[in-house]
A and B are shown apart, each in its own frame.
Chain A
């Protein structure tokens, strides 16, 4: 077990280094002088020199990279070209909004997907199964931002039940937060729910075909016991991975929905950074999200090893 964790840690560290390299190179790929491009019409020599020095763009490439990684390790992701604020602060400010949206979306998705996936596998070929398959096919094919637009049209426009966009912090006013989060979370959660439903269905089906399920049935156990004790315990182990990974990728991935619903999360931050050519913020947000993703993956793999007794052997 310790060896396994160590190996995974090492692997993640290598990948993380690669991620910093990619993120670092992003800035180098900008045609021309990024600071100049960023300043655009707001150009004045003093600001320009200050930014250029602060971002270390006048030094050799390797030195720049090393100092970038060095600073990143201490939590320093540079300063915004636009506001001059530390990037780390900006990203962390946006985290609660994104996190609350992602978690709500995944919770909604689980609420739908777990029962639906299990029932559609156990009653494979039944009406529920067919409905579940239509639902998941619909969910993975529909663009979430289109769902969002249609939802705004219906619930904010026609019915007027919910606000079309905007954000209130959960800590500030939970009720208003909820009224704002429900549409974007549903739009995102629909896709997640579809993916999870399919995954759970196929995972359960796979386990149902295992010999040990027949053994359990041969023992004369009740159907419920067979499903709960023998099937789900095996089938849901991989699902844990997928759920965690979904949360992680939603944190960085809901750009379009955040833009559509004016949700001030990391996705929206990225979008604004792109619009403003604020490259340090873009870099910082991307690096932050990728690191988070790696961390979640690492934790999930370790959790997986804890859940499946066979893995401890390796």
Chain B
């Protein structure tokens, strides 16, 4: 068994908004081990990003977070904010969606890569700068010794995302959290970034949490996957099992809704309606109003439990046997 890096138990996040309390995440459990990639999939508003941000203490101030979060065996919810901050900076690296806005425009790229090393590894400014050059080289930025002093706007989108990855890896973290890191990029650039992360992961043994809405990316990067809908995990398991035998109607519908060359021509099996509003979630299964299976009245009123349908493969439904393919 490999070493567990991050584990989340019973995580619930409630956001105070102008329009009332929104339950963004409700009772989520998962963990990721060293060298492994855990993918969180879902549509906008499903709670996939919020669960990770809340777990690492980056939720907005209005958020109320409950549950347990263990980073390298240390209970994050029990430590002081200062300690949590240090643990986060030292052991967790983040890559966010938009490389355009996640870099500070008035600081050089090198400075931004280096500052984590100064803060957490006690390097001098000089050492940290040398380290930044190394890191930029590591992520494939050409002539890093010169580019280290460039400003973010002088980089292209793909190069910027590489710089962000360099920044995330500065302290050789045990965990890399990639929050839709390729969504803002073109498909050829996305392929570069996916390869880069896979290669770095292999070399550094980092655990990766990859948040995305793109099932294709999941299939390529993940070892295990959790599908989120309406703030809850509806299906979770080894990536092969989930893709080969999706147990939840939502997962199946998502996979089927993608155009597939094999079925070109016919209508796509679309899901009716839209994702639910976190301010106004149904009492039972959040997917029930759109569910093609529909089950019975129980689905509307009662939350289905996560049921194990195969080793490590769990599905939140009342009808696991009938629905599994």
Q: Do A and B come from one complex?
A: yes
Q: Which residues of A contact B (CB under 8 A)?
A: 210-212, 214-222, 225, 229-230, 233-234, 237, 307-310, 313
- Report the Cα distance A310→B150, complex, angstroms: 11
Please, which residues of chain B bring their CB within 8 A of the CB of A217?
Answer: 58, 85
Give the 8 A-B CB pairs with smallest separation, nearest first. Answer: A220-B89, A211-B101, A218-B94, A212-B104, A309-B151, A215-B102, A220-B88, A211-B102
Please, which residues of chain A bring their CB within 8 A of the CB of B56?
Answer: 218
Q: A212-B105, A218-B92, A310-B105 are in contact. List 19 more A-B contacts (CB 8 A).
A: A211-B96, A212-B101, A215-B167, A217-B85, A218-B58, A220-B89, A220-B92, A220-B119, A221-B85, A221-B119, A229-B115, A230-B104, A234-B106, A307-B106, A308-B105, A309-B106, A309-B153, A310-B106, A310-B153
Known contacts A214-B58, A234-B105; is-contact A220 B98 (Cβ 8 Å): no
- Report the Cα distance A72→B56, complex, angstroms: 65
Could you list some 20 contacts between A and B, CB below 8 A? A211-B96, A212-B102, A212-B104, A214-B96, A215-B96, A215-B102, A217-B58, A218-B89, A219-B116, A219-B167, A219-B170, A220-B87, A220-B90, A220-B92, A220-B120, A221-B116, A233-B104, A234-B105, A308-B106, A313-B153
- Report the Cα distance A17→B101, complex, angstroms: 41
B105 touches A221 (CB 8 A): no
B222, CB-defined interface residue at 8 Å: no
Task: Tell me the smallest distance from the CB of B155 to a CB of chain A, in Å.
Answer: 12
Please, which residues of chain A bring their CB within 8 A of the CB of B106?
Answer: 233-234, 237, 307-310
Please, which residues of chain A bring their CB within 8 A of the CB of B170?
Answer: 219
Q: In this complex, what residue of B is CB-closest to A221?
A: B119
| Most B-side CB within 10 Å, residue of A230, A234, A309 | A309
Task: Tell me the smallest distance from the CB of A89 to a CB of chain B, in Å.
Answer: 45
- Report the Cα distance A222→B83, complex, angstroms: 11
Task: Tell me the smallest distance from the CB of A159 to a CB of chain B, in Å.
Answer: 45
A-contact 0/1 string along B152-184, CB 8 Å cutoff: 010000000000100100100000000000000
A-contact 0/1 string along B190-230, CB 8 Å cutoff: 00000000000000000000000000000000000000000
B294, CB-defined interface residue at 8 Å: no
Please, which residues of chain B bring their CB within 8 A of the CB of A215?
Answer: 94, 96, 102-104, 164, 167
- Report the Cα distance A309→B104, complex, angstroms: 11
Task: Tell me the smallest distance from the CB of B61 to a CB of chain A, in Å.
Answer: 9
Q: In this complex, what residue of B is CB-closest to A307?
A: B106
Q: How large is the interface on B (under 10, 10 to 19, 20 to 34, 35 or more residues)?
A: 20 to 34
- Report the Cα distance A215→B92, complex, angstroms: 12
Known contacts A217-B58, A219-B167; is-contact A212 B119 (Cβ 8 Å): no
- Report the Cα distance A308→B56, complex, angstroms: 32
B107, CB-defined interface residue at 8 Å: yes
- Report the Cα distance A229→B102, complex, angstroms: 15
A-contact 0/1 string along B74-98, CB 8 Å cutoff: 0000000000011111101010101
Task: Tell me the smallest distance from the CB of B56 to a CB of chain A, in Å.
Answer: 8
Task: Tell me the smallest distance from the CB of B311 to a CB of chain A, in Å.
Answer: 35
- Report the Cα distance A222→B116, complex, angstroms: 10
B85 touches A220 (CB 8 A): yes
Q: Which residues of B contact A (CB under 8 A)?
A: 56, 58, 85-90, 92, 94, 96, 98, 101-107, 115-116, 119-120, 151, 153, 164, 167, 170
- Report the Cα distance A64→B108, complex, angstroms: 55
- Report the Cα distance A313→B98, complex, angstroms: 21
Task: Tell me the smallest distance from the CB of B49 to a CB of chain A, in Å.
Answer: 11
Q: In this complex, what residue of B is CB-closest to A209?
A: B60
Please, which residues of chain B bring their CB within 8 A of the CB of A214?
Answer: 58, 96, 102
Q: In this complex, what residue of B is CB-closest to A234?
A: B106
A225 touches B107 (CB 8 A): no
Please, which residues of chain B bring their CB within 8 A of the CB of A310?
Answer: 105-106, 151, 153
A220 touches B86 (CB 8 A): yes
Known contacts A211-B96, A212-B103, A309-B105; is-contact A219 B58 (Cβ 8 Å): no
Q: In this complex, what residue of A is CB-closest to B98?
A: A211
- Report the Cα distance A275→B106, complex, angstroms: 51
B89 touches A221 (CB 8 A): yes
- Report the Cα distance A237→B89, complex, angstroms: 28
| Most A-side CB within 10 Å, residue of B56, B89, B106, B120 | B106
- Report the Cα distance A284→B58, complex, angstroms: 58
Please, which residues of chain A bring their CB within 8 A of the CB of B90?
Answer: 220
Task: Tell me the smallest distance from the CB of A212 to a CB of chain B, in Å.
Answer: 4
Please, which residues of chain A bring their CB within 8 A of the CB of B164?
Answer: 215
Partner of B85, one of A212, A222, A313: A222
Task: Tell me the smallest distance from the CB of A49 to a CB of chain B, in Å.
Answer: 63
Known contacts A211-B96, A309-B153; is-contact A220 B101 (Cβ 8 Å): no
Please, which residues of chain B bring their CB within 8 A of the CB of A313?
Answer: 153
Task: Tell me the smallest distance from the CB of A229 to a CB of chain B, in Å.
Answer: 7
- Report the Cα distance A230→B170, complex, angstroms: 18
- Report the Cα distance A237→B104, complex, angstroms: 14
Please, which residues of chain B bring their CB within 8 A of the CB of A237?
Answer: 106
Q: In this complex, what residue of B is CB-closest to A216?
A: B104
- Report the Cα distance A217→B120, complex, angstroms: 13
- Report the Cα distance A230→B111, complex, angstroms: 11
- Report the Cα distance A229→B108, complex, angstroms: 12
Q: In this complex, what residue of B is CB-closest to A233?
A: B106
Q: In this complex, what residue of A is CB-closest to B82?
A: A222
Please, which residues of chain A bring their CB within 8 A of the CB of B92?
Answer: 218, 220
Q: In this complex, what residue of B is CB-closest to A313?
A: B153
Please, which residues of chain B bring their CB within 8 A of the CB of A220?
Answer: 85-90, 92, 116, 119-120
